[in-house]
Amino acid sequence: MEENKAQPDIEHNTEQKQEHKAEIKKEEPKKQEPKKHIRQTLFEIYDKKYKLLFIIPILMLLFSLAQIGYQFYSTGEFLNKDVSLKGGVTLIIPQEGNIDTANLQTQIKNDFPKNDIVVRTLRSAGSINGVIVEADIDGTDKSQIDRLLASVGSSLKVDLSKVDYGLEIIGSSLGASFFKESLIALAIAFLFMGLVVLIYFRTLIPSFAIILAAFSDMVVALAVINLMGVRIGTAGIAAFLMLIGYSVDTDILLTVRVLKRKEGTVMDRVMSSIKTGMTETLTAIVAVTVAMLVTQSEVIRQIMLILLIGLVADIFMTWIQNVGLLRIYIERKAKKGITI
Taking the model in full, what pTM does it have? Answer: 0.81
Counted residue by residue, the chain has a size of: 340
Looking at the chain, the number of H-run helices and the number of E-run strands are: 13, 4
Whether residue 262 sits in one domain with residue 132: no
pLDDT in tens, 31-79: 555 556 787 888 888 888 988 999 999 999 999 999 999 999 998 889 9
Residue 1 in this model has a pLDDT that exceeds 50: no
Task: Say if 33 falls within a structural domain.
Answer: no
Q: Which residue has the higher pLDDT, 45 or 311?
A: 311
pLDDT of residue 308: 95
Cα 340 to Cα 49, 103, 107, 331: the distances in Å are: 22, 63, 66, 10
Q: At what angle do helices 298-316 and 55-75 cross, to 10 degrees?
A: 140
Residue 251 domain boundaries: 43-79+174-335
- Adjacent-strand bridge partners of 133: 91, 119
CA torsion sign for 228, 234, 239, 243 is positive
pLDDT of residue 336: 77
Contacts of 248 (CB under 8 A, 6+ apart): 193, 197, 210, 213, 214
Whether residue 219 sits in one domain with residue 124: no
Contact 101, 71 (CB under 8 A): no
Task: Say if 284 falls within a structural domain.
Answer: yes
Residues 111 and 65: their CA atoms lie apart, in Å, by 35
- DSSP annotation of 54: T
Range ranked top by mean pLDDT from 75-79, 93-97, 119-123, 155-159? 75-79
Whether residue 224 sits in one domain with residue 181: yes
Whether residue 233 sits in one domain with residue 201: yes
Domain with residue 100: its CATH number is: 3.30.310.180
Contact 227, 67 (CB under 8 A): yes
Give the number of other CB atoms < 10 A from CB of residue 316.
21
pLDDT in tens, 143-194: 888 888 888 888 888 888 788 888 888 877 777 888 888 889 889 999 999 9
Whether residue 191 sits in one domain with residue 58: yes
Cα 303 to Cα 43, 85, 210, 232: the distances in Å are: 34, 15, 23, 9
pLDDT in tens, 203-239: 899 999 999 999 999 999 999 999 998 888 888 888 9
End residue of a domain, out of 127, 146, 170: 170
What's the number of CA atoms in the CB half-sphere (13 Å) around residue 214? 27
Contact 90, 134 (CB under 8 A): yes
Overall domain count for the chain: 2
Q: At what angle do helices 234-260 and 204-228 cross, to 10 degrees?
A: 150
Give the number of other CB atoms < 10 A from CB of residue 317.
27
